[in-house]
């Protein structure tokens, strides 16, 4: 318990500030100390839901009603509400949501089948994010409400001006947060926060976490160029136009020369992989990989290693990307795709099942998971395990039919009665 105890202590210190959420926070702490890690994830999810309901009531002036956690969180991911919750806090909320969703459902078949297993690492991932969320929320909304009122009315009307400390958000222009906390601490201001938010929105739209604050481009020229090339590199570009669009983006990015930092280099590497699959820009990829904690760059490095046939390197990069962000489905999908082809079917199934939990609306994951289940059926058949063959085939058919329902053209012939 030595690893978990500092996190539980930190949350315990914050608990008295959180009104009706205190009961679930106390339950979470108790469950953590009793090694009930699945319960920890469930209580963390409930606390997040309460915070989001409060934010919708106070910030959006709306009644949350019976909205699900996913619906509540999506409200703050919409462009119309960008900036109300800082990007890094939204990322932490996504982590608590993803692990909470995983623990809240059974996922098993028969009563004697193994259910979801949650261990210490998953609990620590969720609690790290929850602690960051609680710290931000307390600093932003609860600092004054819990402090004893001792000053005279006149003093409260004209508080002395002071620079924001390292533990407070810088609030400018109508109460919108224009600064972000790195790992829950520290302040970083941007010259043009609206451009930065638009760039971050492109990452979210593409299903990727933005780079860490220290690795982000900050000048207006760079941000405007990233906004210009972003749609050309989006996964929404039709496949028959991807190469052409990527080449146009690559030319624009390279025209800026060597001024790019890790974030810009990431886009150069991505464009080169799409435009020049046989000769991707490994120098740009290496520059992007110098940024610690850049999960999207690690995932891209894994894709690039797959493209060049370096399987071991690919697996290492993809595992690292998955470790860096518990809600990032792409490295989990890419690992499943790779491991199926390396005949490591059971490992592939595990990664793909996690990917489908994180992104159930992505047809490609269901298609690939169906293929992995089909491989499992083949292995069971060759070893004479008839019961396992039928179970695996049923899972494969179910996955393929889900892919078909989501519109994947290749799934039509696979989803049969």
Q: Residue ranges per domain, the chain?
A: 5-107+116-143, 361-417
Going from the C-alpha of 48 to that of each of 40, 130, 133, 311, the distances in angstroms are: 12, 8, 8, 39
Radius of gyration of the chain, Cα coordinates, nearest whole angstrom: 23
**For residue 174, what pLDDT is reported?**
28
Q: Strand, coil or helix: what is 177?
A: strand
pLDDT in 10s for each residue of the chain, 417 residues: 457 888 898 899 899 889 889 999 999 998 888 888 889 999 999 999 999 999 999 888 898 888 888 888 888 888 778 778 988 888 889 889 888 876 665 555 556 555 567 788 788 888 988 998 999 998 888 754 343 333 333 333 333 333 333 322 222 222 222 223 233 333 333 345 788 989 999 998 899 999 999 899 989 999 999 999 999 999 889 989 999 999 999 999 999 988 899 999 999 999 999 998 878 999 999 999 999 899 999 999 999 999 989 999 999 999 999 999 988 999 999 999 999 999 999 999 999 999 999 999 999 999 999 999 999 999 999 888 877 899 999 999 999 999 999 999 999 999 987
- Name beta bridge partners: 188: 180
Token couple for 370 = 């169906």
Report yes or no: 29 and 4 within 8 Å, Cβ to Cβ: no
Token couple for 51 = 């915070």
Token couple for 84 = 């109300």
Q: Strand, coil or helix: what is 43?
A: helix
Phi-psi region of 302 (alpha: psi -120 to 50; beta: other; left: phi over 0): alpha
CB atoms within 10 A of CB 378: 14
Report yes or no: 349 and 333 within 8 Å, Cβ to Cβ: no
Does CATH place domain 5-107+116-143 in 1.10.3470? no
* Global pTM value: 0.57
Phi-psi region of 159 (alpha: psi -120 to 50; beta: other; left: phi over 0): beta
Report yes or no: 248 and 232 within 8 Å, Cβ to Cβ: yes
């Amino acid at each position: 318990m030595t690893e978990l105890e500092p996190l539980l202590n930190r949350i315990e210190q914050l608990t008295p500030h959180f009104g009706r959420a205190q009961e679930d926070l106390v339950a979470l702490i108790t469950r953590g100390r009793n090694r009930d890690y699945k319960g920890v994830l469930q209580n963390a999810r409930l606390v997040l839901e309460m915070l989001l309901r409060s934010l919708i009531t106070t910030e959006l002036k709306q009644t949350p009603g019976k909205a699900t956690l996913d619906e509540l969180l999506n409200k703050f991911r919409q462009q119309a509400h960008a900036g109300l919750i800082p990007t890094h806090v939204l990322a932490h909320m996504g982590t608590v949501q993803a692990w909470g969703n995983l623990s809240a459902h059974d996922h098993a078949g028969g009563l004697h089948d193994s259910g979801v297993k949650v261990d210490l690492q998953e609990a620590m991932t969720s609690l790290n994010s929850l602690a960051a969320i609680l710290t931000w929320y307390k600093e932003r909304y609860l600092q004054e409400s819990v402090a004893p009122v001792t000053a005279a009315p006149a003093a409260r009307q004209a508080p002395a001006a002071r620079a924001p400390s390292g533990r407070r958000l810088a609030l400018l222009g109508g109460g919108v947060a224009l600064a972000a906390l790195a790992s829950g601490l520290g302040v970083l201001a941007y010259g043009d926060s609206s451009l930065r938010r638009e760039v971050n929105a492109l990452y979210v739209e593409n299903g990727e976490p933005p780079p860490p604050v220290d690795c982000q481009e900050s000048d207006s020229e760079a941000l405007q160029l990233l906004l210009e090339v972003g749609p050309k590199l989006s996964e929404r570009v039709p496949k028959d136009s991807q190469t052409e669009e990527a080449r146009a983006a690559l030319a624009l990015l390279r025209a800026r020369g060597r001024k790019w930092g890790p974030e810009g280099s990431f886009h150069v590497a991505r464009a080169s992989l799409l435009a020049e699959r046989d000769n991707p820009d490994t120098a740009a990829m290496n520059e992007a990989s110098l940024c610690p904690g850049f999960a999207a760059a690690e995932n891209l490095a894994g894709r690039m290693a797959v493209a060049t046939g370096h399987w071991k390197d690919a697996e290492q990069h993809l595992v690292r990307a998955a470790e860096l962000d518990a809600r990032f489905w792409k490295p989990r999908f890419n690992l499943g795709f790779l491991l199926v082809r390396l005949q490591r079917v059971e490992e592939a199934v595990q990664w793909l099942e996690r990917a489908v939990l994180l992104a159930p609306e992505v047809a490609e994951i269901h298609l690939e998971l169906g293929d992995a289940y089909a491989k499992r059926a083949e292995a069971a058949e060759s070893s004479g395990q008839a019961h396992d063959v039928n179970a695996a085939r049923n899972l494969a058919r179910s996955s393929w039919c889900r892919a078909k329902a989501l519109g994947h053209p290749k799934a039509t012939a696979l989803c049969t009665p």
